[in-house]
Structure 1
């Protein structure tokens, strides 16, 4: 189960351990409620300013951080 803080951490530090675990191919499965995507959207402005990203870069980073997560 992946919560929002895990995804925020992966987005904040793309070279960190959490980002590596979420992005690499492995036999691990990750699950999260779809609410996680809403939480990311709600904090987009704040995250974009802290990470210094434009909208397109933010969406790319969000995709990388969440692409291996199955939402339910």
Structure 2
């Protein structure tokens, strides 16, 4: 989902912790005053970076946006 112009994804807690540790994201807080354990706000703000991260999470590269049909 998109929240405040940032990509927010739900992943297993250990994946979220790893991505936060690597600097790829920050904990997501839905305005409740504490971060949600299985939600990550992705730091990158462009679709190419989001696709690259999705490919890494799924273990395979995803096609570049330029190769998509319009």
Q: Into which bin does the TM-score normalised by the smaller protein fall?
A: under 0.3
Q: TM-score, normalised by structure 2?
A: 0.25
Bigger strand share = 2
Greater RCO (CA < 8 Å, at least 6 residues apart): 1
Larger Rg: 2
